[in-house]
Structure 1
Amino acid sequence: MAAGAVAIVLVAIFLHYFLVESEKRHMVEQEEQTAKTLATAMKLPFTQILLFEESEIVSEAGLLDLYVSRMVGSVDLHIDYAMVFDPEGRILSHSDLTLFNRKLDDPLSRKALSADGIVLSHIGDPFDGGVIDVATPLNVSSKRFGTLRFGYSLAGLADRLLQLKRKTLALTVSAAAGMILLVFAASMVMTRPIRRLVGALDSVRLGKLEPIPLPERHDELGDLQNSYRMMVNRLAQEKTERERTRELLARTEKMATVGTLAAGIAHEINSPLTGSMHSVHALASGTLPAEKRDRYLQVLGEGLERIRRAVSQLLDYSTVHVTNMVHCDLSGLVTKTLEFLEYQITRNRIEVENRLPPLVVRADAHKVEQVLVNLVLNAVAAMPRGGRLAFRHFEEGPFLTLVVSDTGEGIPEGNLEKIFEPFFTTKGDGKGTGLGLAVCRKIIEQHGGKISVSSRPGEGTEFLVSLPFAAVPGRDHER
């Protein structure tokens, strides 16, 4: 619509300009023709006067001045000046009496004297008070008696041009307005079905996969509407198939998870259970010496403890416990955990570096201690020949991130994405259930935080635990 309106306006401007210029040329040509007609009409009486004078049939006796003064004084002839030359260019009569008997030598005078027919010359702008200088020879056959020259006024052309411009402008504006209204009406008729189709497509974008009823058409828009219906039906079918596939994948994933849990817990329980049953059978014989009986009792107790620990960690992973959120000092929890595991740390000759200031977080202190115990025990297991265990922190937006790093054996790159999965462990048989880090991730996610790991084999491992800051009034977050 906008392009059509602009095109119509440009065409209207062009047509207005073309019509005005064409009419201007036509008006000037009409005036030139009038001037020629006037020159032809005035040639005969002036020639007769000069002929009679030369033949001495009658004396001129001021007839030239009379005719010149009547030409200039006539309102209908629109003549500004008039003059008669003799063959040598001397003025025999002029509307300006002061120029009588003078000889003019300007270009127009020379052109008029040398012409064999009517000569027209424009002086000034035809539409701004210009004049047509007209010259015609006064002759009979080849005998030339003089030259008539006069100025035909074009003063009326300016008013006629103004009226023409007004009429042409009114015509072009009316035509342009009519065309714009016609384009607007046609575009409204043409775009109405397009807008309906666009609205139907928008409903698809918003998730509505039911075809919106549209009027039947048998043109290009009808083809588009049919394509729209086919698209919506196909999308609806694909959505149904997608939901069916998603449900199938969900069931498959659940079965795979159940299978993984069952296999893991079966492995963790079966090995100590087998040893415990063997110890029970041996003890039941009653023939064992005291030393072996004590050994079998120890094996029985260790096996039952492994079973209890595996079941406990499995319950921690699979059960949603109530989280008791309180304000607690994270650095204090780290210190308490290090004191609790001091024996394992000292026995493995591990140096501890704790650079944590008092850090207040809102968390379940018991669950955070459980996470810290798992992380410290993993670090101790990764440094059997000693090393350094470090604690530091940094703040990132509303989160406080605890960094627990060790200088142990590290984790292969292929295992970094697996260590948080249930029952995945890199420890030897009987040394881990593979649930510790899975439980840690679940606890941290319950707190609205996240846990991640980075490691290089032979260089150590670094765990990052991010927890939300506690909303303590007046606390200044230093970066």
Structure 2
Amino acid sequence: MDSKNINQNDKFHLRWTLKIKFITFITLLIVVIMIFNGMFIIIREKRLLMAKIENESTALVKSLAIPVTNVFLYKEVGLLHEEELLENYISQLMEEKYPILYAMILDNENRVLVHSDLKKFGSIYNDPISENALRSWQTITQKYHDKNWGDVLDASAPLAISSKRWGTLRIGFSLEPIQARIQRLYWEILGLTLGIVLLAFFIVNILSRKLTAPLSILITEMKKTSVEQERQPLAIHSSDEIGYLACAFEDMRERLINSHRELKQAQDQLIRAEKLASIGRLSSGVAHEINNPLNGMQNCIRMILEEPENREQTGRYLELIDEGLQKIESVVQKLLDYSRKDPIMYEKVDVNHSLKKMLELLEYKFSKQNINIELQLDDNLPLIRGDAHLLEQAFLNLMINAYDAMPEGGTLTIRTKQTTRKRRKFVTVVIQDTGEGIPESELTRIFDPFYTTKDVGEGTGLGLSVCQGIIENHQGEIFVKSKAGQGAVFTIFLPVKSK
């Protein structure tokens, strides 16, 4: 029973242990949190840097727009005649530390009056950035992408006083420093995330070991648990759910052991009751086996008393009396061997020998009822490990059932051989009769306790149930094939190596 449960447990393979699930969950949780946190930091930092450069670019273009506007105003009123002053402003601006890509002064038709690139002088800009700057009477910033410079922030301010406008001042700022800063921040966050994940993995691994160690102990004890032997209490003393589970398991194991002990006692009582019932069924045959030698011994004694001086006759009759006593002793000894209540002992058993012993007890009953015995025993049959008395009781019960099934006589065939099933070696015992058979509707119930098809008083209904219990306790199996009027075939498989 226990070995079957253990084998079933061994078929279950752990793929995702609690430890792996715990570590994976915590690690993924940290990664997700760090990803969202990193994204938030990067977006926030990018917005802050953009706001900073927009403010700085707006302040710069505003501050430069004032002197440039004054130049146009002074030229208009005739206070200034030098044309190079605007170019000086632009050239000085380009020498600043700001990441400035270009600076230009445009008239009201977007024609270049002054440009940091002298080649652009006189050019007319018709692009949307220039159009928006021309239309606006406020200082504005616009972002666009250039195939040579990448992302560019264009800051523009109108060169105007009141409703009088002379043109537009535009300065282009490179956004590459911001992108480089964001890129560095990305790698810093990635490195920080990996570091935190590794640290968390190490810490979680230690914590998970402490968490799952009691569970591992519990699993090991579950696999080793046997209802046939006591075990030491679990070395789990935690005050959490695992400790509660360990206590519940201890209680369950103790109840199982007690239940198994009670069940074993009940089973032993059933086996004993069935054995006594079998002895009663054997009584008529045993009485005949004893009465025949006794009658012969009485005749011998009578003849000796009639001629006490005949020493030759007395010696011959004493030998016959001795033979009769030996036969009676043999019959009684066999019956005592079968009926005695010995503790269960698993040892090497010769199945052929056990079958022959039980046939000897039934020999008279079979011959009296005209039942022929056909033995087809494998002489090379291996020994099995089991309790000989229990197996003999199972064999005897099946033979008695065959006897009852053939009231008008018949043939009882007993075969043994070695077979292989499910990659294991078995000793196979087949007990076949030519009796009344069993209806197919009854086949599923014949191994039920107290189920019998015999008349009241002729059977306990425990024979086949006890047989099945004995065979299964030897890790074997018993099967039956039968049809009404066609006899029955009982097949027993006993493992060569068991217990």
TM-score normalized by structure 1?
A: 0.57
Aligned equivalents of 1:260 and 1:361: distance in 2? 30
Amino acid at match of 2:36: F
CA apart distance, 1:234: 6.7
Contact 1:68 1:94 in 2 (8 A): yes
Partner residue, 1:53: 75
Aligned equivalents of 1:88 and 1:238: distance in 2? 100
For the structure 1 residues 314 and 458, does the alpha-carbon distance in structure 2 shift closer, same or farther, using more than 3 Å as the test?
farther
Aligned equivalents of 2:185 and 2:435: distance in 1? 100
For the structure 1 residues 56 and 253, does the alpha-carbon distance in structure 2 shift closer, same or farther, using more than 3 Å as the test?
same
Deviations 1:34-81 (A, max 9, x none): 111111011111111111111122214332233223323x14243322
CA apart distance, 1:229: 4.3
Aligned equivalents of 1:137 and 1:409: distance in 2? 120
Partner residue, 2:136: 115
Out of 132, 153, 156, the position equivalent to 2:177 is: 156
Partner residue, 2:322: none
Partner residue, 1:208: 231
Matched position secondary structure for 1:124: strand
Contact 1:127 1:161 in 2 (8 A): no
Partner residue, 1:133: 154
Aligned-pair identity (%): 25
Matched position secondary structure for 1:265: helix
For the structure 1 residues 44 and 454, does the alpha-carbon distance in structure 2 shift closer, same or farther, using more than 3 Å as the test?
closer
Partner residue, 1:436: none
Deviations 1:305-324 (A, max 9, x none): xxx9999767556558xx9x
CA apart distance, 1:399: 7.8
Out of 250, 253, 258, the position equivalent to 2:268 is: 250
CA RMSD, aligned part only?
6.1
Aligned equivalents of 1:183 and 1:202: distance in 2? 23
CA apart distance, 1:171: 4.2
Whether 1:21 and 2:43 are equivalent positions in the alignment is yes
Amino acid at match of 1:458: G
Amino acid at match of 2:167: G
Contact 1:39 1:134 in 2 (8 A): yes
Match runs of 1:64-463 below 5 Å: 64-72=86-94, 74-124=95-145, 129-184=150-205, 187=207, 192=210, 195-196=213-214, 199=217, 202-203=220-221, 205-206=224-225, 207-208=230-231, 210=233, 212=235, 214=237, 220-221=239-240, 225=243, 228-229=246-247, 232=250, 235-236=253-254, 239-240=257-258, 242-243=260-261, 246-247=264-265, 250=268, 253-254=271-272, 257-258=275-276, 260-262=278-280, 264-265=282-283, 269=287, 319=337, 396-397=419-420, 454-460=481-487
Deviations 1:400-430 (A, max 9, x none): 9898978765577799879xxxxx999xx9x
Aligned equivalents of 2:211 and 2:176: distance in 1? 59
For the structure 1 residues 259 and 5, does the alpha-carbon distance in structure 2 shift closer, same or farther, using more than 3 Å as the test?
same
Whether 1:33 and 2:55 are equivalent positions in the alignment is yes
For the structure 1 residues 28 and 393, does the alpha-carbon distance in structure 2 shift closer, same or farther, using more than 3 Å as the test?
same
CA apart distance, 1:237: 6.5
Contact 1:12 1:173 in 2 (8 A): no
Amino acid at match of 1:134: A
CA apart distance, 1:153: 2.8
Aligned equivalents of 2:270 and 2:200: distance in 1? 67
Aligned equivalents of 1:382 and 1:230: distance in 2? 55
